[in-house]
Structure 1
Amino acid sequence: MRLGMIALCSGLLCLRFLPVLPGSGALLMLTVLGAALLVSRFHPFGLFLLGLAWACTSAQWALDDRLPSELDGQTLWLQGRVTGLPEADAGVVRFYLEAAESRRTALPQRLRLSWYGAPPLAAGEVWRLAVRLKRPRGLVNPHAFDYEAWLTARRIGATGTVKAGERLHAVDGPSGWRDSLRRRLLAVEARGREGTLAALVLGDGSGLSDADWQILQATGTVHLLVISGQHVALLGGLLYALVLGLFRLGWWPRQWPWLSFACGLAMLGALGYGLLAGFEVPVQRACAMLAVLLLWRWRFRHLGVWLPLLVALTLLLLAEPLASLQPGFWLSFAAVALLAWCFSGRLGPPAAWQVLLRAQWAMALGLLPLLLALGLPVSTSGPLANLLAVPWVGIAVVPLALLGTLLLSLPGVGGSLLWLAGIQLELLFALLAWLAELAPALQLTAAPGWAVLLGMLGVLLALSPVGVPVRLFGALMLLPLLWPPVVAVPDGQAEVHLLDVGQGLAVLVRTRRHEALYDAGPASRSFDSGEKVVLPTLRGLGVRQLDLLLLSHADQDHAGGAAALLAGLPVTRLLSGEAPALQLSRPAEACRDGERWQWDGVQFTTWVWSTATNANDASCVLLVEAQGERLLLTGDIGVAGERHLLDSGRDLHADWLLAAHHGSRSSSSAAFVAAVAPRAVLFSRGWLNSFGHPHPSVVARYRAAGARLHDTAGEGALRIRLGRHGALAGERGESRFWREK
């Protein structure tokens, strides 16, 4: 039985690592062969094949439900129902629309939409909307968040921006009760922690400020303050403990079997809490795990502790194979498995304080390889923060918040309980903020796959019972994970990464001992690519300090992410072609025309038109040359700026040219293209951007000059080894079945 479930789960989990999905013929063969093997002695292999076939079929259904390619970027009038809790952030409301219909075409079952300056929206309402729709697509960078995997895991067939709309039907029936409850929670007085209470009770994190999120992420406590599987399990455990306590005190009716009532009450409480949270996939996962655990406790305890975990894993993956695309899936099951590993098979029950200490030690050490494999930050203050916060939230905050919510209809009672919960949260956040400042989170250098697997084996050995002779050896197996081998850039060469930051620019140039960043990516009120994209990518690549941050000019699509970079990394020198226009935490030096320097055998030269009459032409241009191979980074210079470079008499020839101004027709003049004569041109731009970059005339001009064209929107982040005179590599070249080409 156990072997069969392991084989079935292995087949289901293989989906996460497939570059492409097999065709319908191959799926049919897998299914037939798997069914045939079920009646043989190779039945575990048959279950593996059936699990793989079902996972691939389910994933193919999700891909087939995406917006047709011919409608990508088109604006349609459609009608649908708002589901879930709309999230408002910096003037943008994001929400899900389901069962959408259009007269022009069939639409995906589920859409994720953004509406700038939206009117009040509520779950259950039916709207008629004009929406610019896009196929699921995200930025693709090494070691950064994979938005396309996130959308696929939630079976979102299209994203879009609402241009106009009208409400056709108000909330009908019980569909809007969560929205109504959220409004009531946000209206109570809770010491400014009303949004946190909504996160705890309803799973709505939109009421948490950016500062709150940073504190929670730095201390590894996000799982505590936004409803998660832990809260569901916690409530179930409290209800179970309540019945057990009454029984041990002799206050439980003897004619009622206490164990049956304890398990049933715990499950009902968990399901009720799950409904409050909208019963999303993480909550479904927790309820399934708790149901299996309670059933095991009630009737099947003699079968061992690993069986309920295996059954829950099997049921969840059968119900939703795409769950394996979510980091939370791996972290939650790994956390439960680590606790089982640490507490099962030990002699004698540990004391309560030993349970807390051992659990936090297991989480801190045991989840480290998985966090690094998923590209997530590691909280150095997490063990202490969780040691204090877990019992605090579980015993003091959650019961007060839930009880206060249930009693909101009683004047003064529910509000008072929520006020007390708010005081607890205010004190807790003060403590967490202090811990975050004392020991901030780290994002370590990405480790190779073999180091991650070795580290996973090492933590299992290190967390073995006392007396196991290989425990110390297990700790040593973590060393390649914490200090992974780094292949240094050879002297005389430069490694160049043109990051995929959408409609903006960020270029990392690395030599053997130095790192420079040319521009910092765009930033807006709702998304800072410096914080969300550039900084995680640099840290994942092992960049711990920038010797130079060169901001070509002060436009937001080039310098918007600079503030986050200056806060997150030490920067030795800050340079810009528009230094006085920048508003940063430190002043920038003015770019100097003709400045030259050498790092590790690589030559750098800056050019700037100091008397330019507009910001774009004031861009600081950077030329990088390694062993005769040249890269020219041009910022946003226009035709006038190009003419100034041509008139200066400089040698502008370059093998690689970053197209100025993202390929705008105001740049890339014929004379400039002829003078540079690039063999390859790089475009940094957003997919289906509203500016129409790159302009067709510019694309035609470069093609006529015989240059190869590379585009971050189509290829993801681009990587060049300057000095090798070799080819370019794009991140989208690393195939993933969910990733758009």
Structure 2
Amino acid sequence: MSFKYQIGLLEVYLFSAITSIYLLGKKFEWAPFMLLLSLTLWLLYRAGLRRSVWLVFLAGIALGGGQMALRGWVEAAPLPLQWQGHSVALEGVVAERSKRGRAERFKLAEVEVMGTPLEGQVWLGLYRSQSDARPGDRVRMQAKLRTPRSYQVPGSFDYAQWLRRQGVVATGYIRGDMEVLADQGGYGWARLRHQLAQWIDHELTPTVAPVAKALLVGIRDDMSLAEQLRWQQSGLFHLVAISGLHVGMVAIGLFKLIRWLLGWLPGWQARWDLKRPAALLTLPGVIAYGALAGWGVSTQRAVIMVALFLLAIILRRGSSPWYTLTLAAALVLTLTPWDLFNAGFQLSFLCVVVLLAIFSPPGPEVPIKEGHRRVAEQRTRWQRGSRALGRTILASSALALLTAPIAQLTFQRITLYALPLNLLAIPMVTFSVVPLGLVAVLLYGIAPELAVWPLQGAGWCISQLQQLTHISAAWPLVNWRIAGAAEAAVWLYMVLLLLLVPVTKRRWQLVGITLGFLMLLSWPRGVTPSKQAMEVNLLDVGQAQAVALHIPKDGWSIIDAGGIKSHRFDVGEQIITPFLLKRGVVRLERIIISHLQSDHMNGVSRLMANFEVGELWLPRQSEPLKRHRGLQRLLAMAEIQGTEVHTRQQGERYERAGGGWSVLHPPRHGKKLDANNGSLVVELSYQGQRLLFPGDIEAQGEALLRQAPSLRSVNWMIAPHHGSRSSSSAALVERLKPQWVLFAAGHDNRYGFPKPEVRARWQAAGAQTLVTGEQGSMRFCVTRQGIRQEPVARPGEALQRTPCKP
């Protein structure tokens, strides 16, 4: 058995071991595991079960399984309790600095907390002051630290795990000023990137500079969420994340430039294989570009893969690009096995393969014979240009097709216009923006006054791309979100592409494509909710509140969708929408906003943009607040989409197919109430069970609520105002007597909610109390027999596949 075949088998077994442990550890479906196992056994059978095959099999399983067991999941190491939530003296070396909105972000290494060394790095935000600290400076400050924690919502991104894999063990913010102690030295590339980022901010407009920094030095922190969404919807977001496409194109450009220059040396073209010295001289340039881009995870992967391709050419081992690709994949996955399931790894891999296969296929360069030279000379510039254009179109088309399923799985979105837009954008980025930007970077250290010109040229090209994303944002179906089992659809898509590769007859290709689309359209839409039990999900969205519930014969409803306010984060887009899409939701029957505060409504606008919404319920108190900017935006969206807007008040009752909604507060008449006490309080009844959603009412609102004639005891409720001392009065507790009381309160929140005495008051009344900051998201099934809590998947895991049972 040849060495290349052994490497191929090793790769298969490595993939199998990593995937098996991942699927079993994360409670995924068994179907992919059985598929990989069948493939492994088939390969063993085809290989004749020779001893060498078994050795390779054991080596692959041991390597993949061992690395996944050791490095697959990085468990959280909590900070000492005396450090968390308290102001502590901290020293460290600035490893990286970036800007995020109005805040400065510092990544510190070699950290000491109160004189005690801390293993790992720390991310800190500086909000109310300025600092001259640069990468490489040792600094001292007072800071508040906390252990990173993700929102515990099924289907959401596991941010804390991602941070731990970057070596970040704590986050927090700086109190007061940051003192620079000394220049520690080192971190030269990080310092250069920081200087370039400041220069770009100074020379380009505020709208262009964030994208320019992302493309040239790999700093995306200053890109707003709205900007990111436009690039995602147009299918061009991969262009602003330095990965395989950028590294591959830089390598190809350098390689061809160096080979062209070497061809001018007398006699070299005829006597030597110019690919080898060109590849040798290209390698340092690729590594330098990776350092300039910040050595992010995706950049590291791309540089490793490109470097192996170049080494294959240098060592005359480039006759089989797939062999080189296999080695690159094995090396990357051995170092970071979890990357097999990372969109960045998949995109980097695909981009490097496509670009190097089309533009620079490995293999020895044959000296041009005299007859061939005359033929080449007869080719016109137009013919050579058309050939280059054809390759560019082919590469753009291949990248758009191959990255489509990954984008669908990552963003739950289909970008209908990705192919034509990429045909315009990829050449502009690869042949204009990146080359001009790199020329500007090179000139920056030599003649800064000259460097401005190519930087302005790159900025103009970026502005045209931004204009393209703005124009495409108005096209129909540009925000087509995909609900349901995206993982299964991607598997199907990839199998379809592989099956079409050997098919040469056009009619069979058309048949295959048609069958594939029919299978995708008929694929089940995620978890089918029960038709006989109501499902209620209280989502963990920090110090805020969000409820998603499904009523049989009625549909899905949202009661509040709050979260922190940030120019880079939207709880509706990044937490609640993925949860709903993976449940197969395409329409929300109603969105109920208890009151107009950010911790209850910040995510509503993105929900209305991503889903069809039947009704929007608002409290009566919202009528005088038409000048509220967030409310104005929601009302405008409702008018465009045809969503019915209703202001609700006490005494109204609405019977729907699945259950009854009763509005208990605010009163029809009476003095004006503040936002909290004017909250819309609704009761939902289903099969004899009563659930109460009281918003943020406090003592004044509770007193009015107790006067409501329809108020009665309930089975399940959310505690008013997150469990504050100003709510949950003894009189209300005695009146309601619930079996379940849930507190929508963030983990280690600064208010100390829920207050211990408030929680004890509900427990003394016989209620079981649960807190989102402790439990994470919670799922309840409501039937005629009662209300029971069901297990909930965590971030990064598959959703609960079993619906509520009656």
- Shorter-chain TM-score: what band? 0.7 to 0.9
CA shift digits 1:653-704 (9 cap, x unpaired)? 2221111111112222233223222221222121110011111112212222
Match of residue 542 from structure 2: 502
SS of equivalent to 1:279: coil
Aligned residue-pair number: 717
Counterparts of 1:411 and 1:80, CA distance in 2: 32
Which amino acid is 2:63 matched to? Answer: L
The answer as to whether partners of 2:111 and 2:119 remain within 8 angstroms in 1 is yes
In the alignment, the residues of structure 2 paired with residue 129 and residue 621 of structure 1 have an alpha-carbon distance, to the nearest angstrom, of 45
In 1, Cα distance between equivalents of 2:556 and 2:717: 20
CA contact (8 A) 1:508 1:518 kept: yes
The 5-angstrom pairing of residues 55-204 of structure 1 reads 55-59=68-72, 62-63=74-75, 67-68=79-80, 71-89=83-101, 91-103=102-114, 105-120=116-131, 121-173=133-185, 175=187, 176-189=191-204, 193-204=208-219
Task: Return closer, same or farther for 1:192/1:4 CA change in 2, 3 Å cut-off.
Answer: closer
SS at match of 1:615: coil
Residue 219 (1) aligns with residue 234 (2): yes
- Aligned twin of 1:271: 287
- CA offset at residue 404 of structure 1? 1.6
Deviation of 1:455 (Å) = 3.5
C-alpha distance in 1, partners of 2:51/2:545? 55
Opposite residue 613 of structure 2, the aligned amino acid is V
Matches within 5 A, 1:306-705: 306-324=322-340, 326-336=342-352, 351-408=387-444, 409-410=446-447, 412-438=449-475, 439-447=477-485, 450-467=488-505, 469=508, 472-473=511-512, 476-486=515-525, 488-489=528-529, 493-511=533-551, 512-526=553-567, 527-577=569-619, 578-580=621-623, 581=625, 582=628, 583-587=631-635, 589-610=646-667, 611=670, 613-705=673-765
Q: Which deviates more from structure 2 when the two are superposed, residues 286-295 or residues 336-345? A: 336-345
2:250 alignment counterpart: 235
- The 2-side partners of 1:339 and 1:134 are apart by 43
- Is 1:44 matched with 2:57? yes
In structure 2, C-alpha distance between the alignment counterparts of 1:461 and 1:70, rounded to whole Å: 59
Residue 197 to residue 505, structure 1, CA distance change in 2 (3 Å):
same
TM-score scaled to structure 2, two decimals?
0.81
User: Which runs of no fewer than 5 residues in structure 2 stay unpaired?
Assistant: 1-5, 28-49, 362-383, 636-644, 799-806
| 1:414-467 deviation digits (Å, cap 9, x = unpaired) | 111112222222222212321232252433113075554334322322455433
Taking structure 1 as the reference length, what is the TM-score of the superposition?
0.88
The one-letter code of the counterpart of 1:154 is Q
Q: Larger C-alpha radius of gyration, 1 or 2?
A: 2
1:708-719 correspondence runs (5 A): 708-719=768-779
Give the secondary-structure state (helix, strand or coil) at the position aligned to 1:533: helix
Partner of residue 286, structure 1: 302
Aligned residue in 2 for 1:6:
12
Aligned partner of residue 328 in structure 1, secondary structure = helix
Structure 1's 411 and 85: CA in aligned 2 closer, same or farther, altered over 3 A?
A: closer
Tell me, in whole angstroms, the C-alpha distance in 2 between the residues paired with 1:270 and 1:340: 14
CA shift, 1:641, in A, is 2.3
Matched-pair contact (CA < 8 Å) for 2:333–2:339? yes
SS in 1 for 2:180: strand
Residues 1:365 and 1:236: Cα distance change in structure 2 (over 3 Å): closer
For the residues of structure 2 that align with 1:734 and 1:84, how far apart are their CA atoms? 28
* SS state at 1:522 partner: coil
CA contact (8 A) 1:492 1:627 kept: no
Residue by residue over 1:223-251, the C-alpha shift from the partner in whole angstroms, topping out at 9 and shown as x without a partner, is 22343332111111011122444567887
Question: Residue 521 of structure 1 contacts residue 560 of structure 1 at CA under 8 Å; is this kept in 2?
Answer: yes
By how many angstroms is 1:634 displaced? 0.9
1-side partners of 2:794 and 2:634: how far apart? 39
Structure 1 residue 165: Cα displacement: 4.1
1:19 aligns with 2:21: no
- Between stretches 184-193 and 162-171, larger displacement belongs to 184-193
CA distance in structure 2 between the aligned counterparts of 1:424 and 1:191, rounded to whole angstroms: 15
1:727 counterpart = 2:784: no
CA distance, structure 2, for counterparts of residue 182 and residue 160 of structure 1 = 23
CA distance in 1, matches of 2:796, 2:279: 46
Q: 1:292, 1:312 within 8 Å by CA — same for their partners in 2?
A: yes
1:253-297: CA deviations, max 9, x gaps?
446641122212322221111111122221111110001112223
8 Å CA contact retained: 1:129, 1:162: yes
SS at match of 1:286: helix
Cα distance in structure 1, aligned partners of 2:470 and 2:795: 39
Structure 2 Cα separation of the partners of residues 464 and 728 of structure 1: 51
Q: Distance in 2 between matches of 1:226 and 1:735?
A: 22
Q: CA RMSD in A?
A: 3.4
Aligned to 2:39: none
Deviations 1:173-222 (A, max 9, x none): 45323222322233225796333332222111234344432221112222
Q: CA deviation at 1:324?
A: 4.4
Match of 1:54 among 60, 67, 90: 67
User: Are 1:66 and 1:156, in contact at CA under 8 Å, matched by a contact in 2?
Assistant: no
| Equivalent in the alignment of 1:305 | 321
Moved more, 727-736 or 566-575: 727-736
Please say if residues 339 and 362 of structure 1, whose CA atoms lie closer than 8 Å, have aligned partners that are also in contact: no
Please tell me the residue identity of whatever aligns with 2:732: F
- 1:104 deviates by 6.3
Deviations 1:509-561 (A, max 9, x none): 32334332211213424433233323333333333333322211112211222
CA shift digits 1:626-670 (9 cap, x unpaired)? 111221111011233223222323242222111111111222223
Distance 1:127 1:247, change over 3 A: closer
CA separation of 1:491/1:47 partners in 2, compared to 1, >3 Å: closer, same or farther? closer
Of all paired residues, the percent bearing the same amino acid is 29
Q: CA offset at residue 720 of structure 1? A: 2.3
**Number of the residue aligned with 1:262:** 278
